[in-house]
Amino acid sequence: MKVALFGGTGFVGTYITDELLNNGHNPLLLVRPGSENKVSRANDCTLKIGDISDKEIIENTIKESDAIIYNIGLIRQYPKKGITFEKTHFEGAKCCIDIAKELGVKRFILMSANGVKYEGTKYQSTKFLADQYLKSSNLNWTIFRPSLIFGDPKGSIEFCTQLRNDMLNLPLPAPLFFEKLNVINAGKFSMSPIHITDVAKCFVKCIEMENTYKKIYNLGGLYSYNWIELIDTISKASEKNKWKIPAPVEPIKMAAMLLEWLPIFPITKDQLTMLLEGNTCNSSTAFDEFDIQPTEFTVENLSYLSTN
């Protein structure tokens, strides 16, 4: 099957591309000029060079496909450079959905995120708007909402390697964030990490599964871990012994508000907000439906942290 993949050069997209090829599909990837070398197994893919704002190249990509995966996303935005959540998460997805309807390409799979909501951060609200727009269409849609995704980033950005680089490698104790005066809750927020290969398998397996039409799947690992447990596991996998101290989040949010426009500043105010909300879900039903034995969040499965 010919599958149009939007967002195929990043962390998740690289694994989806490999999974498509491993299952006999022909990926058609929209790739920004200059990013051709980021495509996994480029010689086995059909590359369409252009930008998500270019309606003509989107049409050329979709009209040759049997199914569409929209996986374009940002972890932070830079409005002064025109790089925004609104453009990538919502406007880009909306354009692809509209063109799919016009061309009669019915199968549409969307990468969303666990915890999206209308009155959330800009990241959450733009993802939510894309969800709602796709749900209102007459397409045979499936929406995936992953929690924290981990796995070898292969040169891209991934949560665990970023945490190691931006926090654990510093000669400072790791912060156990808490809000206001609730120091007793420091580091108690939790996540349900899911391995990247399990996410990619879900995307590719569902392409031809009619029972997944018009369904939303929250994807997380079998177990949830609080921030303290996450730091301990990532530290051990990175071969580090890290001290931890409670840290009020408000001063860090204030600093982020002033400095998050700098690429070198490690975190944004919205990222801190979402972090303290936690990010957990139960995906046992999804794993049964897709016949997947999930990869656990263990030191052994984070071994790439000591080598990359």
Average pLDDT over residues 143-161: 94
Write down the architecture of domain 159-191+223-280+295-306 according to CATH. Alpha-Beta Complex (3.90)
pTM for this prediction: 0.95
Beta-carbon contacts of 223 under 8 Å, excluding residues fewer than 6 positions away, are: 192, 296, 297
State the pLDDT at residue 256. Answer: 85
Cα separation, 93 vs 90, in Å, equals: 5
Q: What is the pLDDT of residues 228-263, one digit of tens each?
A: 999 999 999 999 988 999 999 999 899 888 888 777
pLDDT computed for residue 307 by the predictor: 82
Q: What is the DSSP letter of 120?
A: S
Q: Supply the pLDDT for residue 259.
A: 81
Return the pLDDT at 138: 95
The pLDDT, as a whole number, for residue 67 is 98
Kindly compute the dihedral angle of the four CA atoms of residues 271, 71, 21, 50, in this order, to the nearest 10 degrees: -120
Res 266: pLDDT: 81
Q: What is the pLDDT of residue 200?
A: 98
Per-domain residue ranges of the chain: 2-150+194-219, 159-191+223-280+295-306
Quote the pLDDT of residue 264. 75
Q: In whole angstroms, how large is the CA radius of gyration of the chain?
A: 19
Confidence of residue 16 (pLDDT cuts 50, 70, 90): very high
187: pLDDT strictly greater than 90: yes
Rounded mean pLDDT, 282-302 = 95
pLDDT of residue 238: 96
Fold exhibited by the domain 2-150+194-219: Rossmann fold (3.40.50)
pLDDT at 257: 84
Residue 198: what pLDDT? 98
Average pLDDT score over residue span 181-206: 96
The helix/strand/coil state of 81 is: helix
**Position 96 confidence tier, pLDDT thresholds 50, 70, 90:** very high
The whole-angstrom distance between residue 124's C-alpha and the CA centroid of its chain comes to 12
Average pLDDT of the chain is 94
User: Mind listing the pLDDT tens digit for each residue in 103-138?
Assistant: 999 999 999 999 999 999 999 999 999 999 999 999
Q: Chain centroid to CA 182: how far?
A: 30
The sign of the torsion formed by the CA atoms of 49, 43, 7, 265 equals negative
